[in-house]
Structure 1
């Protein structure tokens, strides 16, 4: 069902996944038939009374994101959607993914069989990658195709006990692989599905607290959609997709607005914010340049992103419609220029700078020297740290340590433009700031800047990370 707050229409991820819904439904039907034949009474023919499982779910502890795969640990997670299809799932292809600086793969591209998932998990383990599995027979029976209800009269539902059986089978099938990071419970749910997803997430935490219960949300201009998600589902992260690079050189006017809403919801819930970036052309959207890919990433970092995901890695074939252009890898397996661009961005910039930003808390994000301001953005105003920002338009994210005793701040200064270079300067308050260090991603070290004014010179889509020492 569709969220009443969703105002943008189906996203490309929804259409990609929806194109395979008939095949998935057939798989679900077959899975149900097998389960019923085995006496497990998954949906039809249910016997007995409702148990107290629903009440138990409310008491399941919520693990810290710091303890989970991908959201935890020091490394900044970089993932991809639409991986190599089953016939192209080879050691060489998964090594190719890892060499481009990716950390995890969200399964898809006609991988729906348990044997294929196990094969891919083995390849991922060898390549040093993690996987989020989109299991249509077990997991999506409890999180997408049916609701979870302890009321026997509810149609198209499974009880919490039956949902546990489904989850346990999937966990036991894929859990032994060290590359298993978690399950993709639902891609782009409407708000009406949040109640069932809350139960599915609780079941995941109860039966496999070491796995990440992953859900990606629609793009939306309404804060109520994201606030309801964090309040009802109590997720381990807030992930969304919105692709801002439109045809004829246009830019989605509400891209920053959507990011501001997601940032606020994630901060309120105390969980990481993840986003998908656009890697290909499709109806109404243009093919990104390397600078435009970098720009999406750096704007997202400035807005507090703690995970970046690429849409897509492998190119969807023409039969899926929507006019998909080449992504990082073409339909027939050839690398495009965007593969090389992603590899450079991931390995020489995003991984090292992301590792610095991941443990920090987003404090503010402002747009400097930009008139008119995009919808829902905040203008730069002088602070006790930065008294002036001159030059061309910049987006500045300010971050603090989780330790309240640490008064230092970190600034991610991003070029507002993805097509032109930006020059400017930040003036720091000498009464408050004792020094500014500049992060160099190649050496992964900071270099001191001794002037009270810091010059900025950024390529299209580029950014710099500063460590501001305070009194």
Structure 2
């Protein structure tokens, strides 16, 4: 499973050792902004020795007069993954992004261009984007920009001052529904995020926080996972960025080991998710998130699926001739009771990737944000 580090190894810190440190956490692709092409080339050389790919952003790529020469330099490096074009564009910026992507790929058609979309939000946010609905924003991007894939960021877990209780943004699952649907219709993969750097109202991540974001992304069919951020950004203002896996001074934080743990867990389950086709995504609970569909019908070998508490994401996937049922506890704060009954041919996929028989009747407690996976 590709894992992208946003604000990865800093340009001023690039070395083989630093990229190996990122790879140790589980990073496969590093995105960093470089001011000049020469530093980017040095980073590509070091990253290649560490087995890490780079999404490169540098000033020359934005220049009509310097872009071609920069691409010709960068494209020679085996560690090059992609060229960074834009983060969170307005609709009015789509033509500029399209021109840039076309110009880059006219020189180097073998490497894709990267852009990432805003999440949805209230009416004033959508108006600022230049659309009436979030679906319109996503559709316009796919229609107007020669995108190789569809990426969007949304950090769904927030807290109130003085409280550790996680609240879920009411747009998150609706946005996942829209992005997954539009990517499928456009025959493109979609990329999604987990927040690994707390700031403003976003809390220091726990294992449950990370699991909820990543397993929900995967349940909807995400094929690339991105971490915002790897290195703690240094910015002015009230953002209060802190406790990313790597601190501003380059030291590891407690978040490093936490993210390493969940990344390793995800990679052991890549046979479930990587290359999977989403058959359906449904939700259980007294109420279901805005824009989602309630689970009413169970797949044939499943006799009973009941959840307690806030409810679950229930995703049916197909991969390499097998069907997988992924059940994600949608509550970031509280464990969920699960009662599951199925035919004897149904098996359970454990967190270490091993496959064991599923009991005819299973009652279990699912930790906050965690997932249980069955297959047949």
Asked whether the two chains share a fold, i.e. TM above 0.5, the reply is: yes
Aligned residues: 356
Conservation of the 8 A alpha-carbon contact between 2:32 and 2:57: yes
Residue in structure 2 matching 1:296, options 204, 213, 235: 213
In 2, Cα distance between equivalents of 1:456 and 1:215? 41
The residue number in structure 1 matching 2:348 is 438
The residue number in structure 1 matching 2:50 is 127
Conservation of the 8 A alpha-carbon contact between 1:121 and 1:180: yes
Unpaired runs of at least 5, structure 1: 1-75, 142-162
In 2, Cα distance between equivalents of 1:194 and 1:354? 33
Aligned-partner SS, 1:305: coil
Q: State yes or no: 1:220 paired with 2:120.
A: yes
From the superposition, tell whether residues 114 and 294 of structure 1 become closer, same or farther in structure 2 (CA, over 3 Å).
same
From the superposition, tell whether residues 116 and 195 of structure 1 become closer, same or farther in structure 2 (CA, over 3 Å).
same
The residue number in structure 1 matching 2:370 is 462
* CA-to-aligned-CA distance 1:324-369 (integer Å, 9 cap, x gap): 122111111221111101111112x11122343121111211111x
**Post-superposition offset of 1:459:** 2.0
Conservation of the 8 A alpha-carbon contact between 1:420 and 1:459: yes
Q: State yes or no: 1:447 paired with 2:356.
A: yes
Conservation of the 8 A alpha-carbon contact between 1:301 and 1:412: no
In 2, Cα distance between equivalents of 1:376 and 1:245? 18
In 2, Cα distance between equivalents of 1:91 and 1:343? 19
In 2, Cα distance between equivalents of 1:269 and 1:332? 42
Aligned-partner SS, 2:294: coil
**Post-superposition offset of 1:390:** 1.0
In 2, Cα distance between equivalents of 1:185 and 1:327? 24
**Post-superposition offset of 1:387:** 4.5
In 2, Cα distance between equivalents of 1:298 and 1:234? 29
Q: State yes or no: 1:86 paired with 2:11.
A: yes
In 2, Cα distance between equivalents of 1:460 and 1:336? 23
The residue number in structure 2 matching 1:356 is 272
In 2, Cα distance between equivalents of 1:200 and 1:438? 47
The residue number in structure 1 matching 2:251 is 334
The residue number in structure 2 matching 1:380 is 295
From the superposition, tell whether residues 136 and 350 of structure 1 become closer, same or farther in structure 2 (CA, over 3 Å).
same
**Post-superposition offset of 1:448:** 2.9
Aligned-partner SS, 1:330: coil
* CA-to-aligned-CA distance 1:72-115 (integer Å, 9 cap, x gap): xxxx110111123233222222111000011010113xx31212
Q: State yes or no: 1:181 paired with 2:81.
A: yes
User: What CA RMSD, in Å, does the superposition of the two structures yield over aligned residues?
Assistant: 2.1
Structure 1 residues 185-224: aligned runs within 5 Å:
185-221=85-121, 222-224=134-136
Residue in structure 1 matching 2:195, options 274, 278, 297: 278
Conservation of the 8 A alpha-carbon contact between 1:353 and 1:465: no
In 2, Cα distance between equivalents of 1:295 and 1:197? 32
Unpaired runs of at least 5, structure 2: 122-133
Conservation of the 8 A alpha-carbon contact between 1:245 and 1:288: no
Q: Whose Rg is larger?
A: 1
Residue in structure 2 matching 1:265, options 172, 179, 182: 182
> What is the TM-score with the length of structure 1 in the denominator?
0.71
**Post-superposition offset of 1:455:** 4.2
In 2, Cα distance between equivalents of 1:119 and 1:359? 33
Aligned-partner SS, 1:310: strand
Aligned-partner SS, 1:447: strand
The residue number in structure 2 matching 1:239 is 151
Residue in structure 2 matching 1:398, options 316, 323, 336: 316
Conservation of the 8 A alpha-carbon contact between 1:217 and 1:241: yes
Aligned-partner SS, 1:291: helix
